[in-house]
Amino acid sequence: MRKNILITGASSGLGKGMAVEFAKKGRNLALCARRIDLLESLKQELLALDPNIHIIVKQLDVNEHQQVFEVFNACHEELGGLDRIIINAGIGKGVTIGTGYFRINKQTAQTNFIAALAQAEAAMEIFRKQNSGHLVTISSFSALRGFRRALTVYAATKAALSSLTEGIRIDVMGTLIKVTCVHPGFIRSEMNEKVKKVPFMVDTETGCRAIVKGIEAEKSTCYAPRWPWAWMQLLVRIVPAKYLKAMS
């Protein structure tokens, strides 16, 4: 059992939802995010679920790359080791390419991929030293294909994250280090709260329960919730681009 778990982007959305699900399972948690006030509130909420678990909170901006290494190592020391690290921090901003919003698209690319790379480096340094651990990245169903408008850069960053995760997994294949890439479908969260009509959207609790179930299985990749996304991914990979245009 992975007893000590670190989650980035844990102050809200999927990160917070996963923290709740793992607390219900009696896991110790290191919760990291920029908004320390929200983390402190979450800590009390989780301790109310199980007062016997150990929870530490750390303020972390994943775009401050040196801070990522420092915070991960501090959590490792304070919890007495880390068994699983979940790279979840990310943003959902994005604007159609070529419409004058490079700054926003650049921010999405830096946070969702470069910062994720820093987190993967920091996590794998810890796991390689102890020769064990479970690295988890939270990618997206959108990683499977290119999408238009606001999703163009977002989908590209998630595709890069999925590829990075697979490369790491291949690199440590045959060791005691496990690597999982999660591809969530449409799950209601702070990131998409303004989106009104989306097919197959589930609430945060349902979605995070499915994500945690997938993580616990420790397979190389998973889709959450499994229905319909595990089957939908087969279709999306082969559907002509003109249909993707109509979908997005």
> Beta-carbon neighbour count of residue 240 at 10 Å?
7
**Contacts for 169-173 with beta carbons within 8 Å, 24 or more apart?**
169/220, 172/124, 172/127, 172/128
Residue 191: pLDDT band with limits 50, 70, 90: low
pLDDT for the residue 67:
98
Enter the tokens of residue 10: 């844990």
For 6, the 3-state DSSP assignment is: strand
**pLDDT at 193 > cutoff 60:** no
* Pick from 94, 113, 108, 88: nearest CA to 184: 88
Q: CB–CB of 69/122 below 8 Å?
A: yes
Q: What is the pLDDT of residue 246?
A: 61
Number of domains making up the chain: 1
Q: Helix and strand tally (H, E) in the chain?
A: 9, 7
What pTM was computed for the model? 0.93
- Mean pLDDT, the chain, rounded, equals 93
- Predicted confidence (pLDDT) per residue in 197-248, tens digit: 667 779 999 999 999 999 999 999 999 998 888 888 878 887 887 766 665 5
> For this structure, is 154 an active site residue?
yes
Structural domain that includes position 150: 4-247
Q: What is the CATH number of the domain that holds 212?
A: 3.40.50.720
Catalytic one of 101, 154, 223, 243: 154
